[in-house]
Each structure stands twice: as C-alpha cells, then as structure tokens.
Amino acid sequence: MGDTVGAVLVPVLTAGSVVAAAIATPLVSGIVQARSGDRLRASVAANLELVDKLRSREQEWQQEIDSVNDLLRRQVAQIRDRDQAELDRRREWSALFVVAFLYLLGVPLLVLFYRLDQWWAWTLYWALLIFLIAMTIAGIDRAVHPPAPTDEEDQSGVTPAPA
C-alpha cells in the first residue's frame, strides 16, 4: 500500500512543484513591481508638496526648487513609461492551454513509467519530466512575454494567414 502511494505521489508532487514555481515567479515579481510603482507615486506627491512649500519661501531656495523640479520630471517620465508599458502589455493565454494539454498527456505517462520500475522506464520518465519542465517554462514565458505584434496585426487587428 505504501509503495503505491509513493509511486503516485512522487511524480504528482514533482510536477506540481514545477508548475507552482513557474506560476509563482511572475506573480511575485508583479507584486514587487506594483509596490515600487506605488512608492514612486507617493514620492512624486511628496516632492510636489515640497516644491510648493519652497516656493512660498524666499528666493534663496531657487536652486533646491530647480533640483526638485528636475527630479519630478524624471519621476513623472518614469511613471508615464510604466503606465504606457502596462497599456501595451499583452498576454497569450493559448500557450498555457498548450502546457495544460501536455500535462494532461504527460502526467499519466510519468506515473506509468514510475510504476514500471525498469531501466528504460526510468530513462523515459526523466526525459519526459525534463521535457515537461522545459515546456512549462517556455509556455509561461510565452504567455507572459508574447512576441510583439507585426505592423499588419496592429493595423487590422487580425492575425494574417501564413503564406
């Protein structure tokens, strides 16, 4: 009984941990980037308030006002660039469907190869596992960072037919 549980549990946990790590990495980086964007916006607000306070003082603060104004221009440009990139970002979910299809076919084969416990089954097991890991990484990368659309796709909104 313990052997059968281990025979099924090991491949499932292996595949599950690979998928979890591949999905968690973009999510965590997105959260970190959102926090830095919030900090940047808060810094812009604080700097605008600082410039207003310095302007109400005498002319002796003009150099500092100019310095903070230059900083504000750079910060606003960075916020604009981030917002523009967010608007232009696309996702290609079909790549994740391909990965799910590969898992639908591959996980039962992994379980079968694991349970056979032969040298050739182990060779196929590791080859298939490495293939599934590589396809998971490639599929998630393709979904999160799809190729840029061509000029024809941008103008027509439709993917051109292959020649």
Range list of β-strands (E), the chain = none
Write the DSSP assignment of 24-47 as a string of letters. HHHHHHHHHHHHHHHHHHHHHHHH
Mean pLDDT of the chain: 78
Cβ atoms of residues 7 and 111 within 8 Å: yes
Q: Return d(Cα 146, Cα 95) in angstroms, integer.
A: 9
Listed residue (115, 122, 96) closest to 22, CA to CA: 96
Q: Which whole number is the average pLDDT over 17-32? A: 63
Q: Kindly report, residue by residue over 52-68, the tens digit of the pLDDT.
A: 887 877 677 888 888 88
Q: Which whole number is the average pLDDT over 36-60? A: 80
Q: Kindly report, residue by residue over 92-145, the tens digit of the pLDDT.
A: 888 888 899 999 999 999 999 989 888 998 999 999 999 999 999 998 888 887
Res 160 pLDDT > 60: no
Q: Return d(Cα 106, Cα 54) in angstroms, integer.
A: 66
